[in-house]
Structure 1
Amino acid sequence: MKARIHLVAGARPNFMKVAPLYHALLGCDWAEPVIVHTGQHYSAEMSDVFLRDLGLPRPHHCLNAQGGTHARQTAAVLSAYEDLCLAARPDWTVVAGDVNSTLAACLAARKLDIPVAHLEAGLRSGDRSMPEEINRLLVDAVADLLWTPSEDADANLAREGVPPERVCRVGNLMIDTYCALETQILAAGTAQRLGLARGEYAVVTLHRPVNVDAAPALARIVERLEALAADLPLAFPVHPRTRGRLHEAGLWDRLERTGMRLLDPLGYVDFMNLVEACGAVLTDSGGVQEETSYLGVPCLTLRETTERPVTVTLGGNRLIGEDEILQAVPSAVAAERVRRVIPLWDGHAAPRAARSLRERIEGDAR
């Protein structure tokens, strides 16, 4: 009898993390991987294109659990996933990352005594004003198996008193995804189609509330992007939420006049082609910090803290404030590209996670 494993995803980064694990489990004679899409982000832009790029089937279950606020979103997923577990109980639930779907599915499963594995466990920014930080803390407190990407994550869990037998460092599954698709990414030609010369432009991604929700802060960032675009080509795939905030604040037309490439959200392959070929990235995203560190692309993170400090200590990431944008971005583009090595970020994290899960299942059966 195969173990039914729910792989729960609600946002684009979740799919990038569960995809290599899905493929690893699909080749195992002991596992039945089942993709559960919570619907936290459900649109062709934010989900469907990623399924295609990542070689994933259409989700086996779509919960369509959407909500406007954090509480409503969490409640919708919690209720819908509980219903699914009662109707088609899994042997294990795997949740990824730190979005509201991650917390909600974890709580629903554990209250039904279904064991949970947390993929990308142990990350901490130390900033509890971030909703993601609250989700990380709560999920790691109740999940049964914590798969960590790096040594600092292990240390965070040890400091919080998590028993070591619940922790297994497997590495970074985002890197597995890149390695699996590298040939397609390098051949995609996205930057070339946009008229961007290799190493001579910067990529911008912004979506964190601290940067885009308050009109004054967003206006200050736009002012700096305007000045930056006067001398440096910029490619800016605009998150739907950020696009809405820009229009609400009357800032969209200002960006359009700069001539920067304002793009709809891109699929994984096209986006990573842009990143791989650029001179630097200005971002507030978590996953981009990891991908740029692996590629050796300078990354400037527009945040005061990061839950991925290994990207700063061992990778090419640097935390900056908005006042540093105009100096930091051109300097990063001009800097020499250095590809760094972070332990276990090697494209083989998914097989390690699958092996860890099998050992746990077999141990529980004894």
Structure 2
Amino acid sequence: MNITIVAGARPNFMKIAPIIEAIKQKKSAGFNINFRLVHTGQHYDKNLSGTFFEELNIPLPDINLEVKSGTQAEQTAGIMVGFEEELAQNPCDLVLVVGDVTSTMACTIVSKKAGIDVAHVEAGIRSGDMRMPEEINRIVTDSLTDYFFTTSTRANENLLNLGVKPEQIFFVGNVMIDTLRKNEHRLKQPEVWQTLNLKPKNYLVITLHRPSNVDEENQLKSLITQIVTLGKDLPIIFPVHPRTKKLLEGLSLNFKNLHYTNPLGYLEFNYLVKYALGVLTDSGGITEETTVMNVPCITLRENTERPETCEIGTNILVGSDSKKIEAAFKNLLANNWKAGKIPELWDGQAATRITDHLTEIYEL
């Protein structure tokens, strides 16, 4: 059996690392299973993708389509053209896509038009917000997928409500947590730890990249100003996404406790998260990691495709509501945060379950 694994953006690399390792273990056990890794080049900055191959022990991709940036349509088209040629030259039995980035959707469409089965890892999650490009990617991908590997029973229900057959759905857990569990002992201090003399539970981490937060200058300035003010004298560490950096340069946000850094590698970033008093983010994946590491998380979005991080975990939604943000800070600084638990099957074994199912499906 030949599997083509697609990765294109930073979140993808965290998800494919344990899957590749599980496939290698199956092959070592005598199963006829092989993989080819395709990097679409959707994220092409070394800080956003390159370091992940080294840190997470991911083999270098067999090919990089080097699509890079552009409008949604330009990037989608570029990925589709490149991936169509890739499949023509390197046929496979199954294309495995992960997450909800543009590469996920584009490669799914190409695969199905080529008559190739598709497996979607992290299938069935929904925010209900059609303003998010990722939501469109999820809907299109799941409308074409053959095998659905899910992170939660809620995702299973979403798929069943769409008419997906139960035998196509496999509740396996969360591969992002596989990666976290395997690497938690390897987390390392970033340079900013020593530079600012940071102490555990005495600083905050913030990440922002959603268009709703960063594309309008006044909204971004107002949001950061409120966070810095409510944080009082706590250092606030802000690893800046390239799209956000361009906006920040013109806003003159000069606060003594706000510290920008370049994007950090996986091991350094999660070290900061693990020892932070709290995290403010608009990223879905980070809410999963904070839940597992029992770190308070304030999500600066109106909705989430990962409701279990709010219902079970350490996450709360505040959107851009200043009163909700203020209330969240009050609880955080008073050490009065809700107690979180780890969702079902977020145990570090999701990738093993995925490869177990694949060997059964294809009777290897």
Tell me, yes or no, whether TM beats 0.5. yes
Specify whether residues 207 and 278 from structure 1 end up closer, same or farther in structure 2 by C-alpha distance, changes over 3 A only.
same
Matching of residues 205-216 of structure 1 within 5 Å = 205-216=207-218
Contact 1:203 1:282 in 2 (8 A): yes
What 5-or-longer segments of structure 2 have no aligned partner?
none
1:266 aligns with 2:264: yes
Distance in 2 between residues matched to 1:325 and 1:195, nearest whole Å: 27
Shift of residue 36, structure 1, vs aligned partner: 0.9
The 10-residue stretch of structure 1 (50-59 or 271-280) with the greater mean CA deviation from structure 2: 50-59
Distance in 1 between residues matched to 2:286 and 2:329, nearest whole Å: 16
Amino acid at match of 1:357: L
SS in 2 for 1:261: strand
Distance in 1 between residues matched to 2:192 and 2:258, nearest whole Å: 13
1:134 aligns with 2:136: yes
Of 76, 85, 88, the match for 2:87: 85
Shift of residue 100, structure 1, vs aligned partner: 0.5
Q: Deviations over 1:14-62 (max 9, x none)?
A: 0000110011101222221222110001111110011111111211110
TM-score with structure 2 setting the length? 0.94
Matching of residues 178-257 of structure 1 within 5 Å = 178-185=180-187, 187-188=188-189, 192-193=193-194, 194-247=196-249, 250-251=250-251, 253-254=252-253, 256-257=254-255
Structure 2 counterpart of 1:28: 26
CA root-mean-square deviation: 1.6
Of 286, 289, 292, the match for 2:287: 289
Q: Percent identity?
A: 43
Distance in 1 between residues matched to 2:137 and 2:164, nearest whole Å: 16
Amino acid at match of 2:175: L
SS in 1 for 2:124: coil
Matching of residues 325-364 of structure 1 within 5 Å = 325-333=325-333, 334-335=335-336, 338=339, 340-362=341-363
1:165 aligns with 2:167: yes
Shift of residue 335, structure 1, vs aligned partner: 3.2
The alignment covers a number of residue pairs equal to 356
SS in 1 for 2:359: helix
Structure 2 counterpart of 1:71: 73
Structure 1 counterpart of 2:48: 46
SS in 1 for 2:26: coil
Distance in 2 between residues matched to 1:222 and 1:131, nearest whole Å: 24
Of 11, 14, 23, the match for 1:13: 11
Shift of residue 190, structure 1, vs aligned partner: 5.9
Distance in 2 between residues matched to 1:296 and 1:338, nearest whole Å: 8
What 5-or-longer segments of structure 1 have no aligned partner?
none
